[in-house]
Structure 1
Amino acid sequence: MVTTREWVLRRRMATQRLTSPGLPDAVDAVRLLTCVQAQEAPNALWSVGMRTRGATDDGIRAAYDAGAFLRTHILRPTWHFVAPEDLRWILGLTSPKVLSGMRGHFAKLGLDTEVAARGADVFRKILAGRTALTRREIAPHMRSAGLPDKGLPLGDLHLMNELMGVIVNGPMKGAQHTYLLVDEILPPEPELERDEALGALVHRFFAGHGPASIKDLTRWAAVTQADVRRGLDIVGDALESVEVDGTTLWFDPSVPARTAPDAPRAHLLPTYDEATLTYPALGFPVADGHPRGPEADPWIDPYASTVVVDGLNAGTWKRAPGRGVARIELKLASSLTAEQTAAVETATDRLATFLGAPREAFDPRRVEASGKNLGKNSGRGVDPGTRRS
């Protein structure tokens, strides 16, 4: 079936619960998307919050600290939120390719499988008994064992052990992430056969992100196009496809994807949100008068948080500096109508409510909302498909 970009974008937004009723709990939103990119953890909390009914920043942080969902390097060499029951089988399917692809990078840092194994021994010793330690607290123990204790080598030693399923982020300690042993927080599970895991990943991705293409999935996870085609064969009739501009897009017709009558017209989508980062080839059309200029493309700058209004990429937003407050600064397309601008104002109110503080005066070209720190977005991130340790 041939369809339009507009239909695809509407269905994606509803599938991801941005324009359809939110899910009951934060972990339900994480499960829907299978994994939620989360190297900018405060922004990722807002991604989860937008898809959860009645969510607050404090509530979702509490759910994370309680272990309702986890944060670790998975799928690609970068952090994601993932439901506990999905951690082991996804690591088993995708980590070998990630680790193999980074072998040369690790070698330049003096890291290899032997060093990673020695690091695993240290982690198992110092984190035993659910002892949650930050990277800074772990560093002296690595130094005592003759292992990397600072900088990128230490970060990548953690990364290797996350991908190997040895450690995972634990509850926050102040502003710092801690680490726990996977085996102490998750029960052992039988390993899935590769075909079973591949079918599950392919189905879950298209169910939570569809309509999407094969290339969207190979960008999202460390699998090949041949893997995805094999997974589609395994899934069979559970997925359907449509065609847009000569590209086949897959989706699960059983997933609720009806836009609610009272759905918001505007959204402040954070950096790395699954609704924008997932689709480099078929994203939101750029509104006339976009602040990035007439050549603007939503994929050119994946680090800018995106304002979406009526299915258009209508501008950018970021947190501006402020002592004790979070100021949300907007740059909007000049073509927005008064109604569309009012919809952005409402979206900013939702963000302020999520943060638990009233927002300040609204201006069409600049919005400042008081609240808690939503995370530093400097625009100096890494490539969305690579690791950030």
Structure 2
Amino acid sequence: MGITREWVLRRRMATQRLTSSGLPEPADVVRLLTCVQSQEAPNAMWSLGMRTRGGTDDGVRAAFDEGQFLRTHILRPTWHFVAPQDLRWILGLTSPKVLSSMRGHFARLGLDEDVAARGADVFRKVLAGRTALTRREIAPHMEAAGLPHKGLALGDLHLMNELHGVIVSGPMKGAQHTYLLVDEVVPPETPLDRDEAVARLVHRFYAGHGPASIKDLTRWTKLTQAEVRLGLEILGDRLERVEVDGTPLWLDPTVPARTAPEAPRAHLLPIYDEVTLTYPALGFPVAPDHPRGPDADPWIDPYASTVLVDGLNAGTWKRAPGRGVARIELKLAAGLTPEQVKAVEAAADRLAAYLGAAREAFVT
């Protein structure tokens, strides 16, 4: 059926629980979205918190430290949050392609599969018994084994072993991330047939991110278009196909996606949030007087995040330094109405409440 762009954007917001009822736990959000990009971990935790009923920064961090959801390199060559029960089958499906695509990069750092395997032996020795160690604490053990022990090479040795399913995130140690052995925190499971895994990932993506296109999915997961079409064929009528501006989109009609009457008008979306990052071709319209310009060029300030109000990309926000206070710098389109500015300030209040801090928002 033919539909409007506005309907697509509203449904995505509701599907992702930004304008519909929040989910009970942060791990429920991770399961809904399947993988949540998280190289900026504090911002990614806000992505979970804003979709969770009564979510707080302390609560999301506690759930992470308890292992209710994990952080690792998965799906693409960057960090994502993922549920423990989804780790193995997604790695099995997507890691070979990620590793293959990075082979030249690894070679320039002196890394290959033999080095990765030797590193795996070190990880299994020093992390045994759920011993959570930071990268800095692991480095001397790598050095003693004659393996890369600093800089990018050490980081990518970790990355390779994450993609191989040897190590995964552990609880935070202060401000530092730790690592644990996958085999000690994730139960074993029978590997899926590849076609079954493709169909499952296709379904999960459209259930948590729909309405979305095939190109949205191939960008998100690096599956080929042929693989996505195979998944769609296997799924049959479990997904609904709609069309906007001549582009076919898919969604799971069984996923709750009703905008709540009390839904907020404005959101301070974290950098790399799934509702903006996922859809480069059909995203939120940009205010003509956006502070980044009419195209909202992210390179003007790549660390500023999106202010969304009434479905319009209307500015940017950043959290400025400040102990015990949520100092939120807002750069808004000049054409916003006073009511829209108040809605943005209410969004800043929600972020402050999530952080458990006093809110100080200022517009520049």
The one-letter code sitting in structure 1 at the alignment partner of 2:161 is: N
Q: Within 5 A, what are the aligned runs for 1:236-247?
A: 236-247=236-247
Instruction: Give the distance between the partners of 1:10 and 1:301, measured in 2 at CA.
Output: 27
The one-letter code sitting in structure 1 at the alignment partner of 2:246 is: G
Corresponding residue SS for 1:31: helix
Deviation at 1:295, TM superposition (A): 3.8
Deviation at 1:326, TM superposition (A): 4.0
Corresponding residue SS for 2:306: strand
- Alpha-carbon contact 1:272-1:303 (below 8 Å) kept: no
Paired residues in the alignment total 364
Residues 1:7 and 1:79: Cα distance change in structure 2 (over 3 Å): same
Residues 1:24 and 1:299: Cα distance change in structure 2 (over 3 Å): farther
Corresponding residue SS for 2:308: strand
Residue 378 of structure 1 corresponds to which residue in structure 2? Answer: none
- Alpha-carbon contact 1:95-1:164 (below 8 Å) kept: yes
Cα deviation, 1:23-68, whole Å, max 9, x if unaligned, reads 0111100000001100100000000001100110001100100010
Residue 374 of structure 1 corresponds to which residue in structure 2? Answer: none
Corresponding residue SS for 1:291: coil
Residue 129 of structure 1 corresponds to which residue in structure 2? Answer: 129
Corresponding residue SS for 1:53: coil
Q: Within 5 A, what are the aligned runs for 1:161-172?
A: 161-172=161-172
Q: Within 5 A, what are the aligned runs for 1:323-338?
A: 323=323, 325-338=325-338
Q: Within 5 A, what are the aligned runs for 1:56-71?
A: 56-71=56-71
What's the C-alpha RMSD, in Å, of the aligned pairs?
A: 1.4
Residue 341 of structure 2 corresponds to which residue in structure 1? Answer: 341
Corresponding residue SS for 1:32: helix
Structure 1 segments of 4+ aligned residues over 6 angstroms from their partners: 298-302
Residue 119 of structure 1 corresponds to which residue in structure 2? Answer: 119
Instruction: Give the distance between the partners of 1:134 and 1:323, measured in 2 at CA.
Output: 25
The one-letter code sitting in structure 2 at the alignment partner of 1:191 is: P
Q: TM-score, normalized by length of structure 1?
A: 0.91
Deviation at 1:137, TM superposition (A): 0.2
Is there any run of 5+ residues in structure 2 with no aligned partner, and where?
A: none
Corresponding residue SS for 1:171: coil
Residues 1:57 and 1:41: Cα distance change in structure 2 (over 3 Å): same
The one-letter code sitting in structure 1 at the alignment partner of 2:241 is: S
Q: Within 5 A, what are the aligned runs for 1:288-303?
A: 288-296=288-296, 303=303
The one-letter code sitting in structure 1 at the alignment partner of 2:92 is: G
Instruction: Give the distance between the partners of 2:187 and 2:16, measured in 1 at CA.
Output: 29
Corresponding residue SS for 2:129: coil
- Alpha-carbon contact 1:111-1:153 (below 8 Å) kept: yes
Instruction: Give the distance between the partners of 2:238 and 2:304, measured in 1 at CA.
Output: 35
The one-letter code sitting in structure 2 at the alignment partner of 1:321 is: P
Corresponding residue SS for 2:188: coil
Residue 373 of structure 1 corresponds to which residue in structure 2? Answer: none
- Alpha-carbon contact 1:95-1:222 (below 8 Å) kept: no
Residue 35 of structure 1 corresponds to which residue in structure 2? Answer: 35
- Alpha-carbon contact 1:285-1:311 (below 8 Å) kept: yes
Deviation at 1:302, TM superposition (A): 6.4
Q: TM-score, normalized by length of structure 2?
A: 0.98
Deviation at 1:245, TM superposition (A): 1.5
User: Is 1:14 aligned to 2:14, yes or no?
Assistant: yes
Deviation at 1:322, TM superposition (A): 3.1
Instruction: Give the distance between the partners of 2:275 and 2:298, measured in 1 at CA.
Output: 12
Is there any run of 5+ residues in structure 1 with no aligned partner, and where?
A: 367-389
Deviation at 1:350, TM superposition (A): 0.2
Q: Within 5 A, what are the aligned runs for 1:112-261?
A: 112-261=112-261
- Alpha-carbon contact 1:286-1:297 (below 8 Å) kept: no
Instruction: Give the distance between the partners of 1:211 and 1:40, measured in 2 at CA.
Output: 26
The one-letter code sitting in structure 2 at the alignment partner of 1:45 is: M
The one-letter code sitting in structure 2 at the alignment partner of 1:175 is: A
